[in-house]
Structure 1
Amino acid sequence: MPIPLEDLYNDVISKSMRGLGLSEADVAAKAGVNIEAVTAAKSGNADDAVLLKVAPVLQLDGPALVTMAHAAWAPLDIQLDGLAQFNTTYHDMTVNAYLVWDAESKNAVAFDTGADATPMIEFIEKNGLNLSLIFLTHTHGDHIQDLARLSADGAVTTFVNEAEPCSGAGVKTFKLGDTESWETGSLRIEPRSTRGHSKGGITYVVSGLQQPVAIVGDALFASSMGGGMVSYADALATTRKEIFTLPHATILCPGHGPLTTVGEEKEHNPFYPEFK
């Protein structure tokens, strides 16, 4: 069963308002609509005309927002040899973790753990893979919940950006600029800073499979973003610089919601109107 989009259109509106520091009254005045219309939009009851007026105020793409309101788009189903997504339940939501592997050497690399690493551990065992490294996109609890078990209490080295360290056996920090990439089998993993949702958020660009892959954590979701919990401006800017400059065919692996691609997000993500 496909994983649904992480955010609804009203989630996008709320994240934009919060990030830009705009109240309902501010948005209403700038968009030329009444406050009740903005309240309705935030609660998921807006009509298309209101969305098209509100979107520019929130620096969003209006048609993409309307498309979300009608649930008229979802990313294409993506299957790639050497890439697996694991979706586990964390309280009232779900969270993703990922595994990439080199078919010849059987070396595998994990990205985050999700809420429960059991499905990933079972997949590794079933397919005769060797978990050689673990990388963390960021250290929010839902992404590292099962790190001790996945790493076998530190037997597998875990890397995390020094700007966002976490405790645990076998955890090593790295400094961007000092670390160009890691290699295992035919895979090459390059870290890129996508801070904003978290202070040390990292996107890992993986080459060596049939398509380029980017594990983006909560920097970007299909049709949305993780929100600028640390800095909304940085969250948007780093994603533009480090993710949207990747080839259109790059598969994006978000921390929540379905897989997508750079090309699909340029066309459908309301937060990036300049690409439409």
Structure 2
Amino acid sequence: MTDLLEDEFGDIIGKARFGLNLSADDVAGQVGISTDELAVLEDCERSPTRAETDALAAVLNLDPERLLAVARDAYVPNPVPLDHGGLRIRVIPYPPMRVYQYVVADVETGQAVVVDPGALPDRILGVLADEQWGAAAILITHADADHIDALPAIHAALDVPIWIHPNEQSRLPALEHADIRTYDHGQRFQAGPFEVEARRTPGHAPGHSSLVLRDLVLVGDAMFAGSLGRTSLGPAYYAEHLAAVRSQILSLPAATRLFAGHGPPTTVGEERANNPFFAV
């Protein structure tokens, strides 16, 4: 499965500038360009020069070679297998929100979990029916609307446990007779045939979690292929956000598959080698 990256050059420098709490005037002045020129770059209206890329990387604590590769459309992660290690993954994209949701199944038992159902409930349920998989649980990495808008319909159809971090639970819509179960960060819990490990990856949402299932991680909006999720909680959380992704996700074996809420799947090894936010 391959796809375009979620974030372009302008998105990356904009996220880094926001996280570092730098104004456009601050960055433009240090780089030696006008604020209008910076806005053009952040809006992806033109490609940067090599000198601009190097200067922006220095100011924004990004890796210049990796940033240049994104600017030149030279980085797309290698295709990641969806069927591997006794797991089968089905991806349900929703282009209007540029979001991906997942159904992950255990081949041996035919049991599956639904992950971050943000849209198209009929298509999600159709995957279960077409594959003849039984639903064991719904897993939520965080409760932004584009990750839970289809939850009421999925819950009504499946009536299975819903797993979420308690700091995200208050953001859920009203769900009648729901079996809502909460996990703590660092906890392992059982969702059907899967032992799931919840890893704390704060910054994008109050209780944002990355969920480890065997050799893959459902990273939500903690990070994307070649980029970082927006630190929506504000610049005060940016350093913690970066540190959490590094320690909780990129510390895993290089072959570990990463499935995000936006953009193509990637691996730990790919991101260690190519992500501008995480130079060694």
TM-score by length of 2: 0.89
Query: Which deviates more, 150-159 or 97-106?
Result: 150-159
User: Hey, what does 1:223 align to over in structure 2?
Assistant: 226
Alpha-carbon displacement from aligned partner over 1:49-73 (angstroms, at most 9, x marks no partner): 1111110210111111111111111
Instruction: For residue 87 of structure 1, report the CA deviation from its aligned partner.
Output: 0.8
Instruction: Choose which of 89, 92, 109 in structure 2 pairs with 1:86.
Output: 92
- Opposite residue 7 of structure 1, the aligned amino acid is D
User: Hey, what does 1:72 align to over in structure 2?
Assistant: 74
Instruction: Choose which of 205, 211, 220 in structure 2 pairs with 1:204.
Output: 211
- Structure 1 unaligned spans of 5+: none
Partners of 2:66 and 2:275 within 8 A in 1: yes
User: Hey, what does 2:65 align to over in structure 1?
Assistant: 63
Instruction: For residue 16 of structure 1, report the CA deviation from its aligned partner.
Output: 0.7
Instruction: Choose which of 241, 250, 263 in structure 2 pairs with 1:235.
Output: 241
Which secondary structure does the structure 1 equivalent of 2:167 belong to? coil
CA–CA separation in structure 1 for the residues paired with 2:59 and 2:207: 29
CA–CA separation in structure 2 for the residues paired with 1:204 and 1:217: 8
- Runs (4 or more) in structure 1 with deviation over 4 Å come to 32-37
Matched length: 267
Partners of 1:96 and 1:255 within 8 A in 2: yes
User: Hey, what does 1:136 align to over in structure 2?
Assistant: 140
1:264 has 2:270 as partner: yes
Which secondary structure does the structure 2 equivalent of 1:164 belong to? helix
CA–CA separation in structure 2 for the residues paired with 1:111 and 1:123: 13
Instruction: For residue 34 of structure 1, report the CA deviation from its aligned partner.
Output: 4.9
Q: 1:220 to 1:271 in 2, by over 3 A?
A: same
Instruction: For residue 102 of structure 1, report the CA deviation from its aligned partner.
Output: 1.2
CA RMSD of aligned residues (A): 1.9
User: Hey, what does 1:163 align to over in structure 2?
Assistant: 167
1:193 has 2:182 as partner: no
Instruction: For residue 154 of structure 1, report the CA deviation from its aligned partner.
Output: 6.5
- Opposite residue 195 of structure 2, the aligned amino acid is R
* Mapping 1:33-44, distance limit 5 Å: 33-35=33-35, 37-44=37-44
CA–CA separation in structure 2 for the residues paired with 1:183 and 1:42: 41
Partners of 1:87 and 1:114 within 8 A in 2: no
1:252 has 2:258 as partner: yes
User: Hey, what does 2:4 align to over in structure 1?
Assistant: 4
Alpha-carbon displacement from aligned partner over 1:148-177 (angstroms, at most 9, x marks no partner): 222225611111100111242325242415
Partners of 2:6 and 2:262 within 8 A in 1: yes
CA–CA separation in structure 2 for the residues paired with 1:154 and 1:123: 13
CA–CA separation in structure 1 for the residues paired with 2:244 and 2:211: 13
Instruction: Choose which of 166, 174, 181 in structure 1 pairs with 2:182.
Output: 174
CA–CA separation in structure 2 for the residues paired with 1:41 and 1:123: 40
Instruction: Choose which of 125, 130, 142 in structure 2 pairs with 1:126.
Output: 130
Query: Which deviates more, 24-33 or 196-205?
Result: 24-33
Which secondary structure does the structure 2 equivalent of 1:163 belong to? helix
User: Hey, what does 1:150 align to over in structure 2?
Assistant: 154
* Bigger proportion of residues as helix: 2
Which secondary structure does the structure 1 equivalent of 2:223 belong to? coil
- Opposite residue 63 of structure 1, the aligned amino acid is E
Query: Which deviates more, 175-184 or 145-154?
Result: 175-184
Instruction: For residue 43 of structure 1, report the CA deviation from its aligned partner.
Output: 3.1
Relative contact order higher in (CA < 8 Å, ≥ 6 apart): 2
Which secondary structure does the structure 2 equivalent of 1:214 belong to? strand
Instruction: For residue 188 of structure 1, report the CA deviation from its aligned partner.
Output: 1.9
Partners of 1:117 and 1:150 within 8 A in 2: yes
- Structure 2 unaligned spans of 5+: none
Partners of 2:186 and 2:198 within 8 A in 1: no
Instruction: Choose which of 213, 217, 230 in structure 2 pairs with 1:214.
Output: 217
Identity among equivalent positions (%) equals 33
